[in-house]
Amino acid sequence: MKDLFDRIIKDKGPLGKWASKAEGYYVFPKLEGPISNRMKFNGKEVITWSINDYLGLANHPDVIKVDGEAAMEYGMAYPMGARMMSGHTKFHEQLERECAAFVTKKAAYLVNFGYQGMVSAIDALVTKNDVIVYDMDSHACIVDGVRLHHGKRFTYKHNDIESLELNLERATKIAKETGGGILVISEGVFGMRGEQGKIKEIIALKKKFNFRVLIDDAHGFGTLGKNGRGTGFEQECQDGIDIYFATFAKSMAGIGAFFAGDKDVIQYLQYNMRSQMFAKSLPMPMVKGALKRLDMIRTMPELKEKLWKNVNALQSGLKENGFNIGNTNTCVTPVFLKGEVPEAMALVHDLRENHHIFCSIVIYPVIPKGLMILRLIPTATHTLQDVEETITAFKAMREKLDKGIYTRVGAAMVR
C-alpha cells in the first residue's frame, strides 16, 4: 500500500512543479513598504500594478487611524466566538445595515472571507432538488461552492446569453421533475479578463424562466456604478439581482465580505451558512475599519474619478500602442500575449529588474497553454507618469518577445 504523501511529494501540481525556480520571485514574492503605486521588490522601487486597492484606501491616513484606534481599543480578538454564539456586536450589525443600504438591498450579512463565504452561501442556498446554472469562467469560489452541490449543475459559455438560455431550458425541465428551483450565478466583473457580466441580460431572462440570480461583484463594488455601488448600478439592474455579494478585499482594502438581499433570504443565510456558524466572527478593527472605508467610498467620489482617470489613460495608451487588452470594460486591464512558461518567466524578470514594473502574469493552467496575460490593476494612487513609464516598458518588452529573446533567456532559466 502506498503512503498518502508519496504522490504529493512526486507530483506537486501544475504550479507547484515550478516552485524551486519560481518561489520568492514569481510566486510568493515579497512587496515591501507602504501599499501604494510604488513599492519595493528585491530592494528596488517598482511600479505596482497587482494590488487590488482600487480606491487607494489601503494606506489612506484616515483609514489607518481608524484601524489603529480600533486595534488599540479592542485588540485583534474581540469579539470571540461565532456570531451566533458570542461573536456579535452592534458594530457588526451597523456595518450590515450600511452595506445593505449602500447597495439598496433590504438586509446584508457579513462573512469573514469572500472565498469561504461564497462557497458556503452556495452550499446553503440549494438542496439536491435545485439546479445551478453558472458562467464557465466563474471565480474559484463559485466553482468550489458548486462542487458541494448534490444536485444538477450546468455551465453556460462565458457571458453567452444564448448558451445560458439553452441551459436554463435544461435546468427548467429537471427542476420541474425534482420540484426544485434554479440558481443562476455570474460575476459582476470577471476578474481575470475585466469583462462585465451581462447581468442585465441575465435578469431579462426572468421573463421567460423562473430562477434566482446571485452576483459576485468583487471587482465591481467601489469601481462601477454611481458612487461605486457596483455592476448592478452600472447596468441599471440592481433590483433584479436577488443576492448581491462583494468582498472587502479589493476596493474596501480590508478583509471580509457581505451578501445582500431580501430580509428572508439574508436571515436564511445567517442561520444556515456553515462557514459563519462554525467560525469566529470578524474582529473589531476589520469591522470599524470597514465602516470607515464604506463611508469614504460613499462620500468621496473623487477617489473613483481618479481611479477611472488612470484606467482610461492606461487602457487607451495600451490600445493606441497596439496591445491587445481584450474586451475589458472595467478597471481590470489584461494584456494578452503569446508564450509559454519559460517566456513568461524571462519577460516578468525583465519587466521587474530592468523596467521596474511589477504586474501579475497569468499562465496555464489558469488560461489555455500558449497564452499569457499580464494583468494590470490601476488604482487611484497611480499617476499618469506611472502609466507612461509602463507603456514605454511594455513596448520594449514586446520587441524582445517578438525577436524571440525571451524564448532563449527563458529556456536557460528553466534548464
The grid cell for 29 is 514574492
Least Cβ distance, residue 349 to ligand PLP (angstroms): 26
Q: Which helix (H) or strand (E) holds 313?
A: helix 301-320
Q: Which residues bind ligand PLP (CB under 6 A)?
A: 113-115, 118, 139, 141, 187, 191, 216, 218, 247, 249, 257
Of 187 and 343, nearer to ligand PLP (C-beta) is 187
Which class for 405: exposed (0-12), middle (13-18), buried (19 or more C-beta within 10 A)?
Answer: middle
What b/e sequence results for 340-362 when a residue is b if at least 16 CB atoms lie within 10 Å of its CB, and e otherwise? bbbbbbbbbbbbbeebbbbbbbb
Q: Which helix (H) or strand (E) holds 112?
A: none
Which residue do the cell numbers 472565498 mark?
A: 115
Least Cβ distance, residue 366 to ligand PLP (angstroms): 12
Least Cβ distance, residue 377 to ligand PLP (angstroms): 11
Using CB atoms, what's the residue nearest to ligand PLP?
Answer: 114
User: What is d(CA 239, CA 236) in angstroms, rounded to the nearest whole number?
Assistant: 8
Strand order of the β-sheet with 153-156 is: 107-111, 257-261, 243-247, 212-216, 182-187, 131-135, 153-156
Of 5 and 28, nearer to ligand PLP (C-beta) is 28
* 3-class DSSP state of 67: helix
Of 265 and 290, nearer to ligand PLP (C-beta) is 290
For residue 272, CA distances in Å to 151, 191, 268, 275, 276 come to 18, 28, 6, 9, 8
Dihedral of alpha carbons 166, 168, 171, 175, sign: negative
Least Cβ distance, residue 138 to ligand PLP (angstroms): 8
Q: Any idea of the CA torsion for 9, 10, 12, 14, to the nearest 10 degrees?
A: -170
Of 76 and 140, nearer to ligand PLP (C-beta) is 140
Least Cβ distance, residue 257 to ligand PLP (angstroms): 5
Of 246 and 393, nearer to ligand PLP (C-beta) is 246
Least Cβ distance, residue 35 to ligand PLP (angstroms): 15
User: What is d(CA 177, CA 129) in angstroms, rounded to the nearest whole number?
Assistant: 9
Least Cβ distance, residue 330 to ligand PLP (angstroms): 12
Of 141 and 346, nearer to ligand PLP (C-beta) is 141
Of 191 and 232, nearer to ligand PLP (C-beta) is 191
